[in-house]
Chain A
Amino acid sequence: MKQIAPRYTIILLVWLLILVAALAVFAVVEMGSRTVAGINQKEDALRRQIVDDQQGIETLANAMAAVRFESVKLFHDTDQLNSYGATTREYITTMQKLLSTGTDFLPVNGEEFIHLLQSFSTQVAQAQRWADEFRAVMSRYRRQKQSPRAVQLLRRLRTQMDIQLGQRRLREAALVRRWRHARAAARDKLAAQIASLRGESDHVLLKEVKADVDNLLLPVAMLLAADNMEQIADIRDNVMKQGLDRLQRNLDILAGADSGMADARQILAQIKVTLFGADHLVDSKYQTIIVTGGLCRLCEERIELVQQGQHLEQQLLVSYARLEKFNAILVAKIQQRFETLGRQFEQLVAAEVWRAKVWGAVVLLVLVVLGAVISLVIQRQVRQMALLQQRNDLILNAAGDGIIGFDAQGNTVFVNPAAARLLGYDKNELLGNELSCFLPLQDDSGTSLEGVAHPLYRVLTLCKDEKYNSSHQICQRADGSTFHIQYVITPIIDKYGHNHGGVLVFADITEQQLVKQRLQEKTNLLDHLANHDQLTGLPNRRLFRDRLFVMLEQAHSDHGMVAVCFIDLDRFKQINDTLGHDMGDKLLIAVAHRLQCSLGDDGFLARLGGDEFVVIITAEGDIEPLYSDICSRFLACLAREFEIDDHQLFISASIGVSCYPDDTTDASVLMANADVAMYYAKHSGKNTFTRYTVHMNARAREMQELEIHLRYALDKQQFELYYQPQVDMNGGALVGVEVLVRWNHPEYGLVAPDDFISLAEESGLIIPLGAWIIDSACRQHNAWREAGLALVPIAINISAVQFSSDLLTTVSDALQRYNLEPALLELEITESLLMEDNQHIINVLAAFKQLGVNIAIDDFGTGYSSLSYLQRMPVSKLKIDRRFVSSAEVDDNDAAITASIITLGHNMGLSVIAEGVETDGQARFLLANGCNLAQGYYYSRPLPTAEFEQWLR
Chain B
Amino acid sequence: MSVCRWVTILVLMVFLPLSAAAAVRRAEIVLGMSTALSGPASQLGLRMRAGVELGLRQANSAGGVHGVPLRLICYDDGYEPGRVDDNIHTLIKHDHVLAIIGNVGTPTAVVTLPIIEAARVPFVAPFTGAGLLRKNPPDRYVINYRASYKQELDAMIDALCDHGGLRPDQIAFFTQRDGYGDAGYAAGVDALCRHGLSRESNVVHVRYERNTLAVENALADMLLAQNDIRAVIMVGAYAPCARFIRLARQYAFTPLFFNVSFVGSEMLQQQLGSAADGVLVTQVVPLLAQHRVPVVREYMAALHRFTPADKANYVGLEGYIAVKMLLKALEQLDPATMDREQVITAFEQLGTFDIGIGKPLYLDARHHQASNHVWVTRLGKGGVEPFCWQQIATMLRESKCR
A binding-site residues for B, Cβ under 8 Å: 159, 162-163, 165-167, 169-170, 172-174, 176-177
- What is the CB-to-nearest-CB distance from A919 to chain B, in angstroms, rounded to a whole number? 142
- Chain B residues with Cβ below 8 Å from A169 are 216-217, 220-221, 224
- Chain A residues with Cβ below 8 Å from B219 are 166, 170, 173
In the complex, which residues 360-374 of chain B have their Cβ closer than 8 Å to any Cβ of chain A?
none
- Chain A residues with Cβ below 8 Å from B72 are none
One of B41-49, B141-149, B207-215, B297-305 at the interface: B207-215
Asked if residues A167 and B214 are in contact (CB atoms below 8 Å), the reply is: no
Once the chains are docked, how many angstroms separate the CA of A159 from the CA of B216?
10
**Contacting A162 at CB < 8 Å: which of B217, B224, B247, B252?**
B217
- Chain B residues with Cβ below 8 Å from A176 are 223-224
- Chain B residues with Cβ below 8 Å from A177 are 223-224
Pull 11 A–B residue pairs with CB atoms less than 8 Å apart, ordered by A. Answer: A159-B209, A159-B213, A162-B214, A165-B216, A166-B217, A167-B216, A170-B219, A170-B223, A172-B220, A176-B223, A177-B223
- Chain A residues with Cβ below 8 Å from B15 are none
Q: Identify whether the interface residues of A are mostly helix, strand, loop, or mixed.
A: helix
B binding-site residues for A, Cβ under 8 Å: 209, 212-221, 223-224, 247, 251-252
Asked if residues A159 and B217 are in contact (CB atoms below 8 Å), the reply is: no
- What is the CB-to-nearest-CB distance from A798 to chain B, in angstroms, rounded to a whole number? 140
Known A165-B217, A167-B216; further 7 A-B contacts with Cβ < 8 A = A163-B214, A166-B218, A170-B219, A170-B251, A173-B221, A174-B251, A176-B224
Asked if residues A159 and B251 are in contact (CB atoms below 8 Å), the reply is: no
**Contacting B224 at CB < 8 Å: which of A163, A167, A173?**
A173
- Chain A residues with Cβ below 8 Å from B217 are 162, 165-166, 169
- What is the CB-to-nearest-CB distance from A554 to chain B, in angstroms, rounded to a whole number? 92
Once the chains are docked, how many angstroms separate the CA of A159 from the CA of B218?
13
- What is the CB-to-nearest-CB distance from B19 to chain A, in angstroms, rounded to a whole number? 27
Asked if residues B216 and A162 are in contact (CB atoms below 8 Å), the reply is: yes
Once the chains are docked, how many angstroms separate the CA of A238 from the CA of B41?
40
Once the chains are docked, how many angstroms separate the CA of A165 from the CA of B216?
8
Instruction: Indicate the member of B209, B218, B224, B252 with the most A CB atoms within 10 Å.
Output: B224
Closest chain B residue to A162 by CB distance? B214
- Chain B residues with Cβ below 8 Å from A167 are 216
Asked if residues A163 and B216 are in contact (CB atoms below 8 Å), the reply is: yes
Q: Would you list the 3 A-B pairs with minimal beta carbon distance, nearest first? A: A166-B216, A173-B223, A169-B220
- Chain B residues with Cβ below 8 Å from A173 are 219-221, 223-224, 251
- What is the CB-to-nearest-CB distance from B59 to chain A, in angstroms, rounded to a whole number? 38
Once the chains are docked, how many angstroms separate the CA of A800 from the CA of B213?
184
Once the chains are docked, how many angstroms separate the CA of A177 from the CA of B214?
21
Asked if residues B220 and A170 are in contact (CB atoms below 8 Å), the reply is: yes
Once the chains are docked, how many angstroms separate the CA of A172 from the CA of B252?
14
Once the chains are docked, how many angstroms separate the CA of A167 from the CA of B250?
12
- Chain A residues with Cβ below 8 Å from B221 are 169, 173
Closest chain B residue to A174 by CB distance? B251
Asked if residues B223 and A174 are in contact (CB atoms below 8 Å), the reply is: yes
Once the chains are docked, how many angstroms separate the CA of A163 from the CA of B220?
11
- Chain A residues with Cβ below 8 Å from B252 are 174
Once the chains are docked, how many angstroms separate the CA of A138 from the CA of B337?
45
Once the chains are docked, how many angstroms separate the CA of A643 from the CA of B214?
174
Once the chains are docked, how many angstroms separate the CA of A177 from the CA of B213?
24
- What is the CB-to-nearest-CB distance from A459 to chain B, in angstroms, rounded to a whole number? 66
- Chain B residues with Cβ below 8 Å from A159 are 209, 212-214
- What is the CB-to-nearest-CB distance from A671 to chain B, in angstroms, rounded to a whole number? 110
Once the chains are docked, how many angstroms separate the CA of A170 from the CA of B218?
9
Once the chains are docked, how many angstroms separate the CA of A41 from the CA of B352?
82
- What is the CB-to-nearest-CB distance from A151 to chain B, in angstroms, rounded to a whole number? 13
- What is the CB-to-nearest-CB distance from A165 to chain B, in angstroms, rounded to a whole number? 7
Once the chains are docked, how many angstroms separate the CA of A166 from the CA of B223?
12
Instruction: Indicate the member of A159, A165, A173, A177 with the most B CB atoms within 10 Å.
Output: A173
Closest chain A residue to B250 by CB distance? A170
- What is the CB-to-nearest-CB distance from A606 to chain B, in angstroms, rounded to a whole number? 107
- What is the CB-to-nearest-CB distance from A163 to chain B, in angstroms, rounded to a whole number? 5
- What is the CB-to-nearest-CB distance from B76 to chain A, in angstroms, rounded to a whole number? 15
Asked if residues B212 and A166 are in contact (CB atoms below 8 Å), the reply is: no
Once the chains are docked, how many angstroms separate the CA of A744 from the CA of B251?
200
Once the chains are docked, how many angstroms separate the CA of A347 from the CA of B57?
81
- Chain A residues with Cβ below 8 Å from B212 are 159, 162
- Chain A residues with Cβ below 8 Å from B209 are 159, 162
Once the chains are docked, how many angstroms separate the CA of A540 from the CA of B218?
166
Once the chains are docked, how many angstroms separate the CA of A165 from the CA of B223?
15
Once the chains are docked, how many angstroms separate the CA of A693 from the CA of B219?
167
- Chain A residues with Cβ below 8 Å from B220 are 166, 169-170, 172-173
